[in-house]
Amino acid sequence: MGDFVLNVNGARLRVSASAEETLLSVLRNRLNLTGTKYGCGEGQCGACTVLLDGRATRSCLVPVESAAKAKIVTIEGLAQNGKLSAIQQAFLDEGAFQCGYCTSGMILGATSLLHERHNPTEEQIVEAMEGHICRCGTYPRIVEAVKRASRLLAPGASR
C-alpha cells in the first residue's frame, strides 16, 4: 500500500492504495465516484472511460500510480455550477440512453472527441465511439447526441 495524491475533478484527493490497483477501482471503491462504471475490466467496452489530461482513457487499464500526475475528470466533474455540460445536455435532449450503464463512458468519450475535433463528421463520430459498447443498442441516438453537442459548442452558438 502507498499514499497517492490524485487530481480529480479539480480537487486534490489523498488515497491509500496499492500501486497496481486500477484507477477505476480507486475512483469507485475508495473515492465513492461511482458514476464511472465497471464493464469488462479489460479495456474492451468503454464503460470505465474518464479523461486523463483531456484524453478519453479506460480507467480499468490504468494503475493508480500512473494516474497520480494527471488531471483526472470523471462524469461527476463535467457539470459546472449546477449546469450540465453541452454534451450531457445533448444526451438528455436526444434521449441517448436506456439503462444508462454505458452513458458516462460515452459522454466522456464524446467530450474527448469534441475537444480534439470541433465539427466531426458522422463517420468520425462513429469511428471515435466504436470502442464503446451499448448493450441497449442506442447507437443512433448517441450519434445524434454527439452531433447536437457539436452544434451547441460551435463558435457563436447560444447555450
Binding residues for ligand FES (CB under 6 A): 38-41, 43-48, 58, 60, 97-103, 134-136, 138
Query: Between residues 8 and 47, which has the closer beta carbon with respect to ligand FES?
Result: 47
Spatial CA neighbour of 134 closest among 49, 32, 28, 24: 49
Alpha-carbon distance of 151 to 142, in angstroms, equals: 14
**Cβ of residue 135: shortest distance to ligand FES, in angstroms?**
4
Query: Between residues 46 and 77, which has the closer beta carbon with respect to ligand FES?
Result: 46
**Cβ of residue 155: shortest distance to ligand FES, in angstroms?**
31
**Cβ of residue 61: shortest distance to ligand FES, in angstroms?**
7
Alpha-carbon distance of 74 to 114, in angstroms, equals: 16
Question: What separation in angstroms does the CA of 125 have from each of 18, 80, 118, 130?
Answer: 37, 25, 11, 8
Query: Between residues 17 and 60, which has the closer beta carbon with respect to ligand FES?
Result: 60
**What residues have CB less than 8 Å from 76, skipping those under 6 apart?**
9, 33, 35
Query: Between residues 3 and 42, which has the closer beta carbon with respect to ligand FES?
Result: 42
**Cβ of residue 137: shortest distance to ligand FES, in angstroms?**
8
Query: Between residues 37 and 85, which has the closer beta carbon with respect to ligand FES?
Result: 37
**Cβ of residue 107: shortest distance to ligand FES, in angstroms?**
11
In the three-class reduction of DSSP (H, G, I as helix; E, B as strand; rest coil), residue 6 is classed as: strand
Let me know: does 74 contact 33? Beta carbons within 8 Å.
Answer: yes
